[in-house]
Amino acid sequence: METDSVDELYREMAAAAVLHPSDAGEGPADTEWGTREFAVVDLVGNLLTFFSGRVIEGD
């Protein structure tokens, strides 16, 4: 799901202790396809990924 501020949302989700174990403590990750993202696990075990677009150097 796209969000305007993935870093702010990450801080909120970290405080709620719902981050996916692979994202806990790491912060949002920059991808090679131009997003910054992290994942959470909802109450029934679904993986939800949140992202924001980012500028890739050279584009």
Q: What are phi and psi of 54, to 5 degrees?
A: -145, 160
pLDDT at residue number 24: 65
- Quick check: is 35 in a domain? yes
- Quick check: is 55 in a domain? no
Q: Cα(22)–Cα(4) distance, rounded to whole angstroms? A: 22
pLDDT at residue number 45: 87
Q: Cα(45)–Cα(35) distance, rounded to whole angstroms? A: 24
- Quick check: is 54 in a domain? no
pLDDT of the chain along its 59 residues, tens only?
A: 999 999 999 999 989 888 888 766 778 999 988 899 999 888 898 999 999 997 666 65
Judged by DSSP in three states, 12 sits in: helix
pLDDT at residue number 58: 66
How many residues are present in the chain?
Answer: 59
- Quick check: is 50 in a domain? no
Question: Residue 9: which of 35, 30, 39, 33 has the closest Cα?
Answer: 39
- Quick check: is 58 in a domain? no
User: Which residues constitute the domain of residue 28?
Assistant: 1-40
Structural domains of the chain, count: 1
pLDDT at residue number 48: 92
pTM (two decimals): 0.79
